[in-house]
Amino acid sequence: MTALLEVSGLARQFRVRRGAWPFGRSATLHAVDGVSFEIEAGRTLGLVGESGCGKSTTARLVLGLTQASRGEVRIGGEKLPPTGSAPWRAMRQRMQMVYQDPLSALDRRVRVGRQVMEPLAIHGIGASGERREKAVAMMEAVGLAPHHFERFPHELSGGQRQRIVLARALIVDPQLLVCDEPISALDVSIQAQVVNLLLDLQARLGLAYLFISHDLRMVRQVSHEVAVMYLGRIVEQGDPDQLFATPAHPYTRALVSAIPVPNRGARRRLVLAGEPPNPVDRPAGCAFHPRCPFAVARCRAEIPELRTLADGRRAACHLVEELPQSWAA
Ligand SMILES: Nc1ncnc2c1ncn2[C@@H]1O[C@H](COP(=O)(O)OP(=O)(O)O)[C@@H](O)[C@H]1O
Ligand SMILES: [Mg+2]
Which residues surround ligand 1 with Cβ inside 6 Å? 14, 16, 29, 31, 49, 51-57, 279
Query: Whole-model pTM?
Result: 0.93
Closest C-alpha to 144, from 129, 128, 125, 159 = 159
Instruction: Supply the pLDDT for residue 329.
Output: 41
Give pLDDT tens digits for 18-33: 877 777 788 999 999 9
Cα gap 251→272, rounded to integer Å = 9
Give pLDDT tens digits for 102-117: 888 999 999 999 999 9
Instruction: Supply the pLDDT for residue 327.
Output: 53
Ligand 1: atom nearest CA of 229 is 22
What is the distance in A from the centroid of ligand 1 to the CA of 130?
A: 40
Structural domains in the chain plus CATH codes: 5-17+28-245 (3.40.50.300)
Q: Is the dihedral of CA 118, 122, 123, 126 positive or negative?
A: positive
Averaged in consecutive runs of 10 residues, what is the pLDDT profile of the chain (329 residues)? 93 89 84 97 96 95 96 96 93 93 92 96 89 95 95 95 95 96 87 92 96 91 96 97 93 86 53 73 92 94 96 95 70
Region of 306 on the Ramachandran plot (φ > 0 left; ψ -120 to 50 alpha; else beta): beta
Ligand 1: atom nearest CA of 280 is 25
Cα gap 148→135, rounded to integer Å = 11
What is the distance in A from the centroid of ligand 2 to the CA of 180?
A: 7
Amino acid of residue 265? G
Q: By the 8 A CB rule, do 236 and 251 touch?
A: yes
Instruction: Supply the pLDDT for residue 119.
Output: 94
Q: Nearest C-alpha to atom 2 of ligand 1 is from which residue?
A: 14
